[in-house]
């Protein structure tokens, strides 16, 4: 009977305890992941509110004609017009640099410092 307890203790030490530790780590990491996802969603929501302050689209601000609006690639894009018209080397189009839509656009707002 003494051998049974020795074997049982060996099994617990080699298999059950590491499995429980691994399970505990998995639970803790899943909670941390859920917290990070909530924080990311909150930050995305805050950035969308800040970036959508201008209710008028650029073609209305610039007074584009209906023909210009139909051929404009920025009309159906989620990005700002100056991002759509970027040159292949990454520079802004010179026309955009003097455009009032670009000049009056709000820049990205850094996230508020969190207290944890």
pLDDT of 109 strictly over 60: no
Which pLDDT belongs to residue 37? Answer: 93
Which pLDDT belongs to residue 82? Answer: 83
Backbone angles phi, psi at 36, to 5 degrees: -65, -35
Which pLDDT belongs to residue 48? Answer: 60
Q: Give yes or no for a contact between 57 and 74, defined as CB atoms under 8 angstroms apart.
A: no
Q: Widest CA span of the chain, in angstroms?
A: 93
Burial grade of 61 (CB within 10 A; 0-12, 13-18, 19 or more):
middle
Which pLDDT belongs to residue 107? Answer: 65
CA–CA separation, 67 and 23 (whole Å): 62
Percent of the chain topping pLDDT 70? 82
**What confidence tens digit (pLDDT) does each residue in 41-82 have?**
888 777 665 455 555 777 777 788 888 888 888 888 888 888
**What confidence tens digit (pLDDT) does each residue in 1-44 have?**
789 999 989 988 899 889 999 999 999 999 999 999 999 888 87
Residue with tokens 């609006």: 69
Give the sign of the dihedral formed by CA 88, CA 47, CA 53, CA 100: negative
Residue with tokens 């759509």: 84
Over residues 83-88, mean pLDDT: 85
CA–CA separation, 39 and 33 (whole Å): 10
């Amino acid at each position: 009977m003494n051998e049974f307890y020795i074997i049982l203790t060996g099994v617990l030490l080699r298999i059950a305890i590491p499995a429980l530790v691994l399970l505990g780590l998995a639970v803790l990491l899943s909670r941390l992941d859920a917290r990070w996802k909530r924080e990311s969603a909150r930050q995305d929501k805050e950035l969308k509110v800040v970036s959508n302050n201008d209710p008028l689209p650029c073609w209305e601000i610039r007074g584009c004609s209906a023909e210009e609006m139909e051929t404009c690639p920025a009309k159906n894009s989620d990005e700002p017009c100056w991002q759509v018209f970027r040159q292949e080397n990454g520079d802004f189009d010179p026309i955009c640099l003097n455009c009032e839509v670009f000049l009056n656009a709000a820049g990205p707002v850094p996230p508020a410092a969190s207290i944890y």
